[in-house]
Amino acid sequence: MAALNIILHEPEIPGNTGNIGRTCVATGTRLHLIEPLGFQLNDKTVKRAGMDYWDQLDVTRYDDWNDFLERNPGAKIYYATTKGKHVYSDVSFEPDCFIMFGKESAGIPEEILVEHPEECIRIPMIGETRSLNLSNSVAIVLYEALRQNHFDHMKLEGELHRLHW
């Protein structure tokens, strides 16, 4: 079973983190939060955006980037950045890989990116568009990774209920 992982490096906006948490619950994805956060995790905005799903979220917090690396040795990580050489849909996401996103105001620190240029991926955009919203970016890349893993463990069909007039 695919068990994908989303890493948020120093997220700043509680609503984005709440929305990402809800997406992780809906997809069976683990969320990893690297401190410092720009808000308190008990913030009403996070819980409101995550709605009543927050208590179902598989979430781990880390003191900093080094703490993450120490607790996840050998993790295969893709770095979502506007500086990436590869389009996110052109890489093959392994079932247990990690996909990292940086803080809303600055992205992933350059010193991390330069150590992993081949794992840097980007979402194509037109012209000089600076970036997409963080929660939208996570959803775009995560669903591609899920698609590549055949939406393992996910409900693939809905059911219409015919209304009788």
**64 within domain boundaries:** yes
Preceding amide of 36 cis, omega within 30? yes
Q: What is the mean pLDDT of residues 10-27?
A: 93
Look at residue 129 and tell me whether its pLDDT is greater than 90: no
What is the extent of the structural domain holding 142? 5-148
pLDDT value at position 155? 84
**155 within domain boundaries:** no
Q: What is the mean pLDDT of residues 105-127?
A: 96
**142 within domain boundaries:** yes
Q: Which CATH number is 17's domain given? A: 3.40.1280.10
Look at residue 42 and tell me whether its pLDDT is greater than 90: no
Look at residue 5 and tell me whether its pLDDT is greater than 70: yes
28 is in an annotated binding site: no
**164 within domain boundaries:** no
DSSP reduced 3-state for 7:
strand
Instruction: Report the C-alpha gap between 30 and 4 in whole angstroms.
Output: 6
123 is in an annotated binding site: yes
Q: What is the mean pLDDT of residues 48-77?
A: 90
Q: What is the pLDDT of residues 87-101, one digit of tens each?
A: 999 999 999 999 999
Instruction: Report the C-alpha gap between 120 and 93 in whole angstroms.
Output: 13
Mean pLDDT score of the chain: 91
Q: What is the mean pLDDT of residues 9-21?
A: 93
**156 within domain boundaries:** no
59 to 23, 40, 42, 56, 77: CA distances (angstroms): 12, 14, 13, 9, 17
- pLDDT > 70: what percent of the chain? 92
**10 within domain boundaries:** yes
**57 within domain boundaries:** yes
Given a contact cutoff of 8 angstroms between Cβ atoms, the answer to whether 150 and 115 are in contact is no
137 is in an annotated binding site: no
The count of structural domains within the chain is 1
pLDDT value at position 43? 61
Long-range Cβ contacts of 152-155 (<8 Å, 24+ apart): 152/1, 152/2, 152/95, 153/1, 153/2, 153/28, 154/27, 154/28
95-105 burial code (b ≥16 CB/10 A, e <16): eebbbbbbbbe
Of 33-42, 45-54, 147-156, which range is least confident? Answer: 45-54
**133 within domain boundaries:** yes
